[in-house]
Structure 1
Amino acid sequence: MTSSSASSRKALSKIACNRLQKELTEWQLSPPSGFKHKVTDNLQRWVIEANGAAGTLYANETYQLQVDFPEHYPMEAPQVIFAPPAPLHPHIYSNGHICLDILYDSWSPAMTVSSICISILSMLSSATVKQRPADNDRYVKNCRSGRSPKETRWWFHDDKV
């Protein structure tokens, strides 16, 4: 999220605050394997360290996810991107945007930050090749003005990775 969109972001609703406090407490008691929440004083933006699973192309690699929560979370999906450098993956663009249906069309309020992390780790773990999406350069060029991945009309057609 760019600084201009960050400053115009609306404050979390009471429901969102309560839900995030609950999720954070549960995370601290039982974090998903391979992930670490980097503590900040901003409940609306979480920074999460992600470690590649053993036995995968991403073993021994560490990445950072940035999770920005909208005013009406969990009714609305958070924005989740990889902070630079994003992993080389057929569904992850070099600007950190992630093509994963649960972050957009298939979002459910029953999902949590933990379930998102597990889905992202599963996506990484199933990759058989480290490469960018075929349309990476065009997509990233179109996002230069700070466009959110939530503004993209994603086409979910590949469930192999």
Structure 2
Amino acid sequence: MSNLATRRLMKELSDIKLNGTPMGIELLSAENMEEWFFGISVLGDETVYKGEKFALRIKFGDRYPIEYPEVTFVANDKYKPPVHPHIYTNGHVCASILGPEWSPVLNAVSVCITMQSMLASCKKKELPKGNDSYVARAPVNPKQTRWVYHDDTV
């Protein structure tokens, strides 16, 4: 990992330990500077995800924060990705901040806040169109997918 990425992540981790995380976001694991796990719950009684908790994996590359991290919802025996029009059953997320709208001023917690907000604004649990065909052919790393950002209503 590059010196820039390591310094930035050490600062982010120090800020989390000092100031904590926003409500509904919990640092589950940051055992190294390459991969962190966060728990995300959607706040409020009006959410379709009330009472559910999801795990988000963020993998940082050598070019972080210049380049966006690899972000996926965890899909294993303990956690399932949310059923959402922009989240595939393999955990891949189609969100413009994880692509052309990424900015180095964003950080791991702001990514979590964005995912929490995306879930909070969802009115109906449904899978993305083409979920099964995408998951069948998807690369392991969602950053290798050429996403088309055409729906910002959910």
The residue type paired with residue 120 of structure 2 is S
Q: Which of the residues 34, 42, 46 maps onto 2:36?
A: 46
TM-score (norm: length of structure 2): 0.92
The residue type paired with residue 18 of structure 1 is R
Residues 1:71 and 2:62 are matched in the alignment: yes
Residues 1:21 and 2:16 are matched in the alignment: no
Q: Which of the residues 28, 46, 49 maps onto 1:58?
A: 49
- 1:5 maps to none
Identity %: 40
- 1:3 maps to none
Residues 1:150 and 2:150 are matched in the alignment: no
* Distance in structure 2 (CA, Å) of the matches to 1:39 and 1:155: 31
* Distance in structure 1 (CA, Å) of the matches to 2:96 and 2:149: 7
Q: Which of the residues 88, 91, 108 maps onto 1:93?
A: 88
C-alpha displacement of 1:39 = 3.1
TM-score (norm: length of structure 1): 0.88
* Distance in structure 1 (CA, Å) of the matches to 2:39 and 2:86: 19
* Distance in structure 2 (CA, Å) of the matches to 1:119 and 1:43: 21
Tell me: CA distance 1:91–1:78, structure 2 relative to 1, closer, same or farther (3 Å).
same
Contact 1:47 1:67 in 2 (8 A): yes
Residues 1:136 and 2:125 are matched in the alignment: no
Question: Aligned-residue CA RMSD in angstroms?
Answer: 1.1
- 1:112 maps to 107
- 1:82 maps to 73
Gaps of 5+ in 1: 1-11
* Distance in structure 1 (CA, Å) of the matches to 2:152 and 2:73: 20
Gaps of 5+ in 2: none
Moved over 6 A (4+): none
* Distance in structure 2 (CA, Å) of the matches to 1:112 and 1:128: 27
Q: How many residues align?
A: 148
Contact 1:54 1:60 in 2 (8 A): no
* Distance in structure 2 (CA, Å) of the matches to 1:105 and 1:135: 22
* Distance in structure 1 (CA, Å) of the matches to 2:87 and 2:37: 18
